[in-house]
Amino acid sequence: MSYPEPRYLAENGEHSGTFHLTGEEPDLLIGTNTKVHYLATGASTNGAYGLYRWEMGPKPGGPGPHFHRTMTEAFHVLSGTIRLYNGEKWADGRPGDFLFLPEGGVHAFRNESGEPATMLILFTPGAPRERYFEELAEIAESGRQLTPEEWTDVYLRHDQYMV
């Protein structure tokens, strides 16, 4: 394995870093239980990756088993206990635990602990996951119950294949 081709070609470096500090308001609220912080989006990383801090409240929640065709996904638990599924078994992820899924890797996550929990979610390359998260928030806020066909349409538009 070697380094990829250079993406920055100027002679000198530039001052272009961005901070996302603890305590900042979330970028998105999904329902009343999940706060999402857009730490680095595919757009802000020139498609390299997307990184999100996912703060789950104490109510049970999380997606069912699924996979992605176009991107990898990784989870790193920061606080609390989050149930992680690697396609074969569930494990209680605690602070410091990590799960990586290549493209096609079946996975899921849930907070069933009754306590708040936080993790980082990383996607590579940087797909536009924000639109998917925002659509989930809009559905939750409206209280609308989607039909199975409507859910299938949402999932297909966002590279989410339920198992």
pLDDT in tens, 138-147: 999 999 999 9
Q: Is residue 45, in this structure, part of any structural domain at all?
A: yes
For a pLDDT cut of 70, what percent of the chain falls above it?
A: 100
Domain that holds residue 132: 28-162
**CATH number of the domain to which 132 belongs:** 2.60.120.10
Residue 106 covered by a domain:
yes
Cα–Cα separations (whole angstroms), residue 115 to 13, 51, 55, 60: 44, 23, 11, 9
Mean pLDDT score across all residues of the chain? 96
What DSSP letter does each residue of 90-148 carry, written as one string? Answer: EEEE-TT-EEEE-TT--BEEEB-SSS-EEEEEEEES---HHHHHHHHHHHHHHT----H
Say what the pLDDT of residue 48 is: 96
Cα dihedral value 151, 38, 76, 17, nearest 10: 150
| pLDDT at residue number 117 | 98
What confidence tens digit (pLDDT) does each residue in 51-109 have? 999 999 999 999 999 999 999 999 999 999 999 999 999 999 999 999 999 999 999 99
Q: Is residue 19 part of a domain?
A: no
pLDDT in tens, 3-12: 999 999 999 9
Domain count within the chain: 1
As a whole number, mean pLDDT of residues 11-18 equals 94
Which pTM value belongs to this model? 0.94
Residue 112 belongs to a domain: yes
Residue 74 lies in a domain: yes
